[in-house]
Structure 1
Amino acid sequence: MGAHWSKQIQRQKAVIAEKKKLKKLQERFGCEYPGCDYHPPDRKNWMLSLDPERIQINKIVWPGTHNSATDKIGLKMITRPFAQCQTLSIYQQLVRGTRVLDIRVEENGKVCHGILTTYSIDAVIEDVKRFISETKSEIIILEIRTEFGRKDPPPVFERYLREQLGELLIHQDENVFEKTVAEILPRRIICVWKPHELPVSKVQNLFWSSGYLRDNWINTDLPATKFESNMKYLSEQEPVTRRKYFYRVENTVTPQADNPVVCVKTVTNRIHGYGRLFIAQCFSRNCINRLQIFSIDFISEDFVDACVGLTKARIEGKA
């Protein structure tokens, strides 16, 4: 028992030390960068505000959400705090400015996070289609994948996606990266479908395969460790103008089973407020031309503004 408590004390000391490290980094270098003072007049239509004819797909800094469809997962006040990564519905996230969705499914077509399940994928599709119907120029990256440790949905699931999203889908095509939003319209959704074992249909290349959305996720609840890991892996990528895939950085940390603090919000708050610091450090460390998808738990308006402001600076040649 004594060894267990000693380990817990050391873990808490490590967390405190890493939180201080990020705070000092922010105090020393600040969070300013080209575009940091920009706030889109309408987050629901921020791509339209920046002019679809000027926004090249590979120059967008895409605000994303991690475990996007977990707003109603589990039982409220019982299991939900251990799996909920967003409090907003998919529609509300899109209205706030989110443009990359991370949807995890299981064999029955329900959204899940680990062992907990929530509503059907139908609810996600309905929210996406509602948002699309209310906007004209917003492009969405919709990642749908089988959750780790779960079985794939049956083969008819892919047909369901085709039937629901068919005319909206931007077909898999590496030339898309160099096109502007205006050149892609009226198609609106890049759907990345990632089953574990099922082969992905190549009919008309409607879905983008897993290799077109990459990341280097590490399982840690230590914020400075995650921050520096994100920076390291990002710096190893090709610049966005030479890349033929999307690369995601997640400004998140993850509860650990051997730590007494296991509520997602409490843990992820250790890094949540350092999104702008990460962007500023990308400039300082000469890898800002590699940043593309930037995602977070419990997405905020400020996080969206940070990404949109950098996008604006890029299309104006300032970043």
Structure 2
Amino acid sequence: MTSKFILTFLLGVFLVSPHLVAGGEPRYPVLDSKFPAAETKLGWIDNERVIFQGYEPGKFGTKSLKDGHVYDITGLFIWNTTTNTVAKHVSIEGLTTLCVHAGEVTFAREGMLITGKPGEERQTPFPKKNWFNPNSCRYYTERPYWSEEGRKGRGIPLLEQHGYVDFGEQSMDPVKSRPLVLYPPGSKVGMTLPLKSDQVDAPPLYVDFVDAYILRAIQHTSVAAPVWLLKPDGAVTQILEPRGESWERMGWAHSFLTMKGLFLVGGQAGYDTVGTAGAYLLRNNHPQRLIGGLVWSESVSPDGCKVAFVHVPHSQAGADSFRTLQAGKPGTRTLKMIDLCKGD
């Protein structure tokens, strides 16, 4: 059932002293790859390596030898955060549909679907008709377990071993709202959850280190929204209730669960000033800034300790970074990582 207490393993974290030291410098180490990254989905292969889409200095803005078009994104790269080295994994012109789960990567390239452990990937023709599970990164060519023909509800898949959640019909009309229903694998009998379809955004996001799913409230504005944790057995726990807090309207975008609490992204920046923008850690029910600036493409390591993200101080720095790339240098919009299990 729904509860309003924070998970036991988070309580001790939230009761410690504020995180920032004088001058706003974080006590948690921030590692900079110094490699220019695209503002697209990235993922952890394991607790050390991050795969991401990036730009190669010197090739930014050059024409493709294949079709003459300009593709600024030139490949998938793997960042080893232990050695702080970046290696090119594969050349790709333009964006691709990158997905990472359980040490395997899945992406599309030149009409092929590529999946597997890095260096051991398998290639098959990309299916013209398919269903995709964003949690397991699996593509289905036949109607999968969460999609029943003729059903009005929205079946949203969890990992295959956990079944799916019926989110009901997609509608802004509260009258059509109904409780979410969790269907275990192979079961036609669902478990009614204490949340309604007009409350929760889809899809649920799997969190490895707690073997559960983040459910975020539908967010129509930048006002902070509630967050819940869904266990495979149907237990639902509220882990964020921001309504009425002094920081509720700071301007929030994303939230992620880590071993040290909720990692929040938000705040407001000027075109050439950092302002309150940045990545925050919720401590003692108060967000403490870890790094100032604009943050995108966040991803938490499987053990819950590290958060990788694309970062630039502000929009002016982002524009300058593009010009720097054109000049053959990395620029300041790079892939960075914060290790929350070190320091403080």
Structure 1 length as normaliser, TM-score? 0.27
Q: Which protein shows a greater Rg?
A: 2
Q: Which of the two has greater strand per residue?
A: 2
Q: Which of the two has greater helix per residue?
A: 1
Determine which structure has greater relative contact order: mean sequence separation of CA pairs < 8 Å that are 6+ residues apart, divided by chain length: 1
